[in-house]
Amino acid sequence: MLTVGLTGGIGAGKSEVARLLASYGAVLVDSDVIAREVVEPGTEGLAAVVAEFGEQILTADGRLDRPRLGAVVFADDQRRAALNAIVHPLVGRRAAELRQAAGPDAIVVHDVPLLTENGLAPMYDLVIVVDADPATQLDRLVRLRGLTEDEARSRIAAQATREQRLAIADVVIDNGGPLERLEPRVRAVWEQLRERVGSGSSGPSGSS
The domain limits of the chain are 1-26+106-208, 34-104
Q: How many CB atoms lie within 10 A of CB 27?
A: 19
Residue type, 177: G
Residue 205 is predicted with a pLDDT of: 47
| Secondary structure tally for the chain: helices H, strands E | 9, 6
H or E segment to which residue 30 belongs: strand 27-30
- CATH fourth-level superfamily of 34-104: P-loop containing nucleotide triphosphate hydrolases (3.40.50.300)
Q: How many CB atoms lie within 10 A of CB 52?
A: 13
Confidence label for 199 from pLDDT (cuts 50, 70 and 90): confident
**Per residue in 29-72, pLDDT tens?**
998 899 999 999 999 999 999 999 999 999 999 999 999 999 88
Query: Is the pTM for the entire model greater than 0.85?
Result: no
Residue 202 is predicted with a pLDDT of: 44
Residue 200 is predicted with a pLDDT of: 66
Average pLDDT, the chain: 91
**Per residue in 77-127, pLDDT tens?**
899 999 999 998 999 899 888 888 888 889 999 999 889 998 999 999 999
Identical topology for domains 1-26+106-208 and 34-104 = yes
Q: Tell me the CATH class for 1-26+106-208.
A: alpha beta
* 194 to 4, 174, 185, 191, 206: CA distances (angstroms): 12, 20, 15, 5, 16
